[in-house]
Structure 1
């Protein structure tokens, strides 16, 4: 085939792809958007349990400040974490605690070490606090490789995540302990926002390593992002230092009530466990289906211990097709890094719809590619 024929073939391929996109996008959904971009759980608290909480809220004194030290709630959280109250710092979601930690540590540490890719809020907070940072690149197998860990010459704040967002990769506790022992003059933060969906928790290491902080939140595994609650666990001395940078009354009385019920009431605990199991089963099944579709020239789906899956595309044209069709169907997903798509695990109906769309686009794309190949060969 000469260059002119090849140009015509490529042009025809693009025309065919545009036609495919038009067909697939033609069924534009006018319904409410399907939210698969914020890593929320699709399953809410049962209505009868919500009503019980509302009834209890009616009995609270809305005209009074919350207890300043949140003594009772602190004790409940400490018991849940298997630690003492002096090891716990409560906060208005883990984001507020992250900001508090960086604000504090920027006063006496030289720089931060942050994973790449990771939750972009870490970069934002470091920039706001004028704390320089280096990045630890997660390798091509989406694992934490100590051989490319950045050089640390001065005491630093080292922020790690497990499972990682957006890859879903787990930081092995053995790897964490290696770093803790090697850099005992640094402060380590392990963010376990997605820890309820998989992986070992670093909480048991808190009493062993005085320079370790572990972050937990109710926003992901507990399915309560609207409640705004999280906590940090660490040595008593480190927690006491962080409390000097805390704003008063970060936990309101309604949040305290909801958190207390989820930590002590069997009805709420059972509902929580059922929702977590449902999400994990769906994640594993969707991974299986997507993995069956994947290929060396199309995309690969990364194993995940979180409530999302990340797809890495080898063909930018294919990713663009998927992106356009999902958008036309009012399905919101995220694109955290180049050539990738992060898909939050939604309900069974939502995941069935997404799988069907990706399969349709992929089949049509392969058909066009095969036609082009036949033209080139002929």
Structure 2
């Protein structure tokens, strides 16, 4: 962050610091449960900025349908990510696009391949579409072994997540390209819901490989899940096919406005970027703190390229004690795998509380 020594900037810095202090004080006094289970971003847009956006919403024609094809926003998004408009499909969050892809591909593909572990919604849509699937086992350390990739002679829908949820590890681009070349008869979907917390994206590959779709969302790295917006990038042929399964008016006028502001309004993009960097800094700090607490006979913590950390427990008693301690402190976390705990990165105050609880749990387990 660059600081300019002018009275105005100093006033803004002081105002920002006072705002943060007030927020931290409110967090300490809150009786609400601490939500560290669904990978939300802990930091909202500044209230004044949201008020500005609300005023712009008031100027929209609420009595008119939005553009059925979202033509202007599609062109803007395409320019923003460096592809052509025919390579872009917009949707009501990434989950709606996932459902759309499966609904379409289940009509002409006989099987799917998904990772294990992965986002649980992929199991659900396979069952909903009656699409048989195989799983590609990811190692506990998040590494991928091409030799264990399920054998598939028939065309299949292959869904990979990068970074993976719940492991937090990202797919190397070289591995993605190897798979695309090795299985040209398959359609590959790369779900990049958490990619903004990592480095790199596969979007640029969609103009090189005709069998690739990349899904993006505003829900995670942009911290705007209530806006309900996602998009996918893919070959023009695949996008055109998927459009036949589009539900009318999936992207409303208010969402269009906010996404437009995110791309074109420096104040909005800056606020989102600051929040994201705050999460990444906290994630790395908490990881190192937990790594220092870990041991071979207690628990290990997975380095993450997302906004969460996965703890894997060797000591089941310690895990049960921590569950009880989190419950008694109204801290909600996730348990996505056996003997594992997934921890969404929250605010500074929230993570300080979590670290104290885990440190206490480690100390108690050591005595027992």
Q: Please give the TM-score of this superposition, normalised by the length of structure 2.
A: 0.91
Contact 1:287–1:303 at 8 Å: present in 2 too? yes
Give runs of aligned pairs for residues 125-274 of structure 1, distance below 5 A. Answer: 125-274=125-274
- Give 3-state SS (helix, strand or coil) of 1:301's partner: strand
CA distance in 1, matches of 2:43, 2:117: 28
CA distance in 1, matches of 2:149, 2:305: 22
CA distance in 2, matches of 1:80, 1:300: 39
Per-residue deviation, residues 84-110 of structure 1 (Å, max 9, x unmatched)? 110000000000000000010001111
Contact 1:335–1:341 at 8 Å: present in 2 too? yes
Taking CA–CA contacts closer than 8 Å with sequence separation of 6 or more, which of the two structures ends up with the larger relative contact order?
1
Contact 2:158–2:187 at 8 Å: present in 1 too? yes
CA distance in 1, matches of 2:287, 2:337: 19
- Give 3-state SS (helix, strand or coil) of 1:205's partner: helix
Contact 2:335–2:341 at 8 Å: present in 1 too? yes
Partner of 2:113: 113
- Give 3-state SS (helix, strand or coil) of 1:231's partner: strand
Q: CA deviation at 1:167?
A: 0.3
Deviating beyond 6 angstroms after TM superposition, the runs of 4 or more aligned structure 1 residues are none
How many residue pairs get aligned? The number is 340
Q: CA deviation at 1:361?
A: 1.0
Partner of 1:14: none
Q: CA deviation at 1:30?
A: 8.0
Per-residue deviation, residues 23-62 of structure 1 (Å, max 9, x unmatched)? xxxxxx9810000001000000001100001100110110
Contact 1:33–1:330 at 8 Å: present in 2 too? yes
Per-residue deviation, residues 113-148 of structure 1 (Å, max 9, x unmatched)? 000000000010010000000000001322121121
Contact 2:317–2:365 at 8 Å: present in 1 too? no
Unmatched runs of 5 consecutive residues or more in structure 1: 1-28, 369-378
Q: CA deviation at 1:198?
A: 0.3
Q: Please give the TM-score of this superposition, normalised by the length of structure 1.
A: 0.89
Unmatched runs of 5 consecutive residues or more in structure 2: 1-28
Q: CA deviation at 1:172?
A: 0.5
Q: CA deviation at 1:314?
A: 0.5
Q: CA deviation at 1:79?
A: 1.2
Partner of 1:20: none
Partner of 2:283: 283
Contact 1:126–1:132 at 8 Å: present in 2 too? yes
CA distance in 2, matches of 1:249, 1:201: 28
Q: CA deviation at 1:367?
A: 1.3
Contact 1:163–1:199 at 8 Å: present in 2 too? no
CA distance in 2, matches of 1:227, 1:141: 34
Contact 1:30–1:330 at 8 Å: present in 2 too? no
Per-residue deviation, residues 210-263 of structure 1 (Å, max 9, x unmatched)? 010000000000000001000010000100000001111000111001111011
Contact 1:167–1:310 at 8 Å: present in 2 too? yes
Partner of 2:65: 65
Partner of 1:338: 338
Question: Is residue 2:55 matched to residue 1:90?
Answer: no
- Give 3-state SS (helix, strand or coil) of 2:246's partner: coil
Partner of 2:303: 303
- Give 3-state SS (helix, strand or coil) of 1:193's partner: coil
CA distance in 2, matches of 1:47, 1:62: 23
Q: CA deviation at 1:199?
A: 3.1
Partner of 1:8: none
CA distance in 1, matches of 2:234, 2:215: 9
Contact 2:112–2:134 at 8 Å: present in 1 too? yes
